[in-house]
Amino acid sequence: MSDKPWHNSPRWPKEIPFDIDGYHRPVSSLLDDSASQYPNLAYTMFQGATRTFAQVKDTADRVANFLASRGVAKGDRVAIFLPNLPHFPAIFFGILKAGAVCVTCNPLYTTEELNFQLSDSGAKAVFCMDHPQFYPTTAEAVAGTDVQTVVVCNLKSYLPAIKGLLGGLLGKIPHAKQHDPGHFMFDHVVKAAPPQPPELTIDPDEDLALIIYTGGTTGVPKGAAIRHCSMVYDALACLEWIQVTDGNAGPDAEPTKLAFGGVHTYLGVLPWYHSFGLTMCMLAAAGSASKLVCIPDPKAGDPPFTDTIAAVEKYRCTIIIAVPTIYSAFINHPLTDKFDLSSIWACGSGGAPLPPEVLRQFEEKTGAVIFEGWGLSETSPVVTVNPTNRATRKIGSTGMPLPGCEVAIVDLAEGNTFLPQGEDGEIAVHGPQVMVGYWGRPEADAEVFRQINGKRWFLTGDIGHLDEDGFVVITDRKKDLILVGGFNAYPREIEDALYEHPAVAQAAVVGVPDPHSGEKVKAFIQLKPGVTATEQEIMDFAKEHLAAYKRPREVEFRDELPTSVVGKVLRRVLRDEELAKLK
């Protein structure tokens, strides 16, 4: 008999074990196993072109060989600065097959932001897109870093032959105006390198697979260092947990375990540089030998999001893993009813609270079931998931801990005392998916890890409780964190950028409700005496220094900002003022 309240709940899904095994292996085994069992099944699908598991493995092996020839050794870091292109999985697995650690980079980053990430991780190589914006950003960002190898990925060879031909003739395939002669073209690399990865041994319980950057609990960008076993565990645990019901089977049909071997098609709408999309889409599709539709720009089309919705009908997608803003886009799009969405069986939601009305309308339109979950980049990322059926899920909760994972509630003061079930406190996690720590930041590790009763617990910074059925209910979160379309925007980072403007004396940013992105960034500015600036000027300045989702959408000038007795700007007061306007 388990002592875990979620295990003893009548809502624990039938036939789901309390623990799982089989995850003590390299991440690349997810691809290799599927390529061995289902070599000719399609893995990636992009603009009508497909790549089989065998083809992706072949390319990954060649990438690994190339990296080794460039002096990349076990433990070295290699960055990916790409949107969701079909190149991404092969590059990701190739990096790991070379024994290196993958560093995923947001393709919306400015030169400054990318330079910081490359420098902080000590990356020796980077893969980027052949694009008039992304390539120049990369070429400038590598300056002053340890990067010695830049590989440029063009779309042409990953398009159907006729599209590649016409696109080349008409100049529609994006590419940079010119390339540094010292940089490598991806197609040439793949053609020249043999499909023979270097011979090395990966210890999945010790060796790192990923460094993924997050603001953590302080807002200062830090690299969460994730082991191979942690990523494999999280992917396999989610695949074990998800039970699906055919969207055409009726509301009372019994859910069944997720089938492997080409049965399902994932809509790859979440960015794979982010842990949510990486694990729940790219790795889950690889581990289950499912198809993966590459969506590099979710907002593409006229009106925006049209291409994403059309992809569901075109590829007959059965699984969607997304943030609430994507589901909102589906139900509010003027053309949704023109597309056949009946192929969708099940949908996962995370990154922000899912409004019940959005859930209701989406399920009404599609017949699919949405199940919410919760996690962090530091936890690979999934910690809890709701039962994936209407009968036992709890709308408004984030679900139960995955098999083999533990969640506890600890005191807010020190984070080292367990609190009774039902009482609010800080949510702590213990399990195989928890990171080793923050890359090169032992002082940050000391803030978030606690040894309690012989176990190492990670303090998440989120506030909540375990209800009577062992479901995790988040009642509050880090007040200053701003969730823009499922992405974390950290006030300190934004404020630091605004302070670089010559007219700014004080700056504070808060999140305010937004019907499209959940929240948007609003900046409050106190100007230096005797100088002037306009709202547009501040926004233009932010555009040069921050990724799009971090930029203020509103700017308000104040003669002075509210401060504490020691002079600290009180974001809480500003946020409360904004919320009061909505009442």
> 482-581: which CATH number, 3.40.50.150, 3.30.300.30, 3.40.50.720, 3.30.1320.10?
3.30.300.30
In the block, residue with structure tokens 């490598």 = 184
- Rounded to whole angstroms, how far apart are CA atoms 493 and 491? 6
What are the DSSP E strand ranges found in 215-349?
A: 222-227, 243-244, 256-257, 265-268, 291-294, 319-322, 346-349
What's the confidence (pLDDT) of residue 168?
A: 63
The structural architecture, per CATH, of the domain 47-201 is: 3-Layer(aba) Sandwich (3.40)
The CATH topology of domain 222-476 is Rossmann fold (3.40.50)
Q: Which residues of the chain have pLDDT under 50?
A: 216-218, 565-567
What's the confidence (pLDDT) of residue 565?
A: 44
What's the confidence (pLDDT) of residue 463?
A: 82
What's the confidence (pLDDT) of residue 566?
A: 41
What's the confidence (pLDDT) of residue 81?
A: 98
Nearest to 270 by CA among 296, 236, 291: 296
What's the confidence (pLDDT) of residue 169?
A: 53
Every domain range in the chain assigned CATH 3.40.50.980 = 47-201
Every domain range in the chain assigned CATH 3.40.50.12780 = 222-476
What's the confidence (pLDDT) of residue 13?
A: 92
Q: What residue type is assigned to position 284 of the chain?
A: A
What's the confidence (pLDDT) of residue 570?
A: 82
Beta bridge partners of 348: 321, 371
Q: Where are the alpha helices (DSSP H) in 316-458?
A: 324-332, 356-366, 442-448
Single pTM value for the model: 0.85
- Rounded to whole angstroms, how far apart are CA atoms 539 and 497? 11
DSSP 3-state percent helix, strand, coil across the chain (nearest 5):
30, 25, 45
Could you tell me if 151 and 157 are in contact, meaning their C-beta atoms sit under 8 angstroms apart? no
